[in-house]
Structure 1
């Protein structure tokens, strides 16, 4: 049995998650639900089978009520304790960020960045950000947890991650392809998902959303809307219909 490693951010022991390897056998990954992050040893991200990605999707939703930690300015490799270096990469859904070990031990990635990489999450367009800002002016960065005032920012001012949202079309495609023998889900209307996302956010953070609309956030202890985790709940609700 693998010994749990400590989170690169909060330093608490990470949860182990076993999933199927693309080729054969299993791989063991390390998750921190408080920091909404995952540690990949070298090349492990590329080794995840589609079924493992989908199971991780479910786990993230199941732990979406875990209190969220805002990432600190210094992240250390859980293998060698060297400082991790922020890096960026591109995929078809846009830019995503992660923190890599210069000794090539692996990388520390936010759940949302992994979901961008795997095609579940996409960046919001300028027009979408402007429309959302009329209803919810402050959101939580899905990568590091910092608040982002979308009236003036199109990316997180702290970690520079773009504003992302769960893509219902990608989720629909993944469920249809990855769940063997399952009945294909009904098409998901992105407009309905967006409405449900906001409804879910209002129910969960009611008073805080009122503050967000007036720009009266006082501290990081408040709870801005996380467009990815809120989207998880909304889409799962739709799929159960």
Structure 2
């Protein structure tokens, strides 16, 4: 598989595999030098909750790595066209930045912005920023690594990312949410499974009676145990 060049530093990105919703896997391209992720179209919403936790753990391992500020412009690794800056609102309410390809090849997101999107990182409100600015004048942007004078700015002047922190309570809530979602995704509904087995066996009996009209008056006994075992095995093999 051909390496994907980073939209910022143009160095080959590292490919990591994560489980995909429904079936299969998603291969993401990560640049630890720029702390960015390239998502081909729709990949960011195709990762399972368990895969999101795995990706968060990987990003957090490199959270304090020395990184290179993002270049301007950023280029699409598929068509080399300039990426367009975008702003969106996550399901939990936080705003996150990204850079997308106008040809719909995908989007580039920094580690910090991905963690905002998935609810692991909390944005500071104006009062919290004012309180922090009295103690620390300049901080490093979590989005691109550029310096931000929070005595004057409440967002990064380079990539426009908001001031954020890795809040332990936000991390705990996000991990709990994704863990519960993963359990629901991987746990079969016993009642629904039982109903499916009964309906399946009834349909088989009906078709059998239609093929053998001389036995129309005979009631077929449904072996739910063997039928259930066969049905569960079919699900497992998918």
Do the structures match in fold with TM over 0.5? yes
Task: Structure 1 unaligned segments of length 5 or more: list them.
Answer: 181-241
SS at match of 1:16: strand
Whether 1:161 and 2:155 are equivalent positions in the alignment is: no
Equivalent residue for 2:78?
79
TM-score, reference length from structure 1: 0.70
Alignment of 1:8-157 (within 5 A): 8-91=7-90, 92-157=92-157
Judge which range, 64-73 or 103-112, deviates more. Answer: 64-73
Q: Displacement, 1:65?
A: 4.5
Structure with max Cα Rg: 2
* Partner Cα distance (2:14, 2:56) in 1: 15
Verify the 8 A CA contact 1:138 1:150 in the aligned structure 2: yes
* Partner Cα distance (2:177, 2:121) in 1: 17
- Structure 1 residues 79 and 148 mapped into 2: Cα distance closer, same or farther (>3 Å)? same
* Partner Cα distance (1:66, 1:129) in 2: 24
Whether 1:173 and 2:173 are equivalent positions in the alignment is: yes
Give deviations 1:166-225, integer Å, cap 9, x for gaps. Answer: 232231123335458xxxxxxxxxxxxxxxxxxxxxxxxxxxxxxxxxxxxxxxxxxxxx
Q: Displacement, 1:120?
A: 0.9
Task: Structure 2 unaligned segments of length 5 or more: list them.
Answer: 181-238
SS at match of 1:107: strand
* Partner Cα distance (2:66, 2:159) in 1: 20
Equivalent residue for 2:207?
none
SS at match of 1:157: coil
* Partner Cα distance (2:28, 2:62) in 1: 16
SS at match of 2:60: helix
Q: Displacement, 1:73?
A: 1.2
Residues paired across the two proteins, number: 179
- Structure 1 residues 80 and 157 mapped into 2: Cα distance closer, same or farther (>3 Å)? same
* Partner Cα distance (1:125, 1:57) in 2: 24
- Structure 1 residues 166 and 44 mapped into 2: Cα distance closer, same or farther (>3 Å)? same
* Partner Cα distance (1:54, 1:97) in 2: 20
Verify the 8 A CA contact 2:52 2:178 in the aligned structure 1: no
* Partner Cα distance (1:119, 1:135) in 2: 26
TM-score, reference length from structure 2: 0.71
- Structure 1 residues 142 and 52 mapped into 2: Cα distance closer, same or farther (>3 Å)? same
* Partner Cα distance (1:101, 1:34) in 2: 21
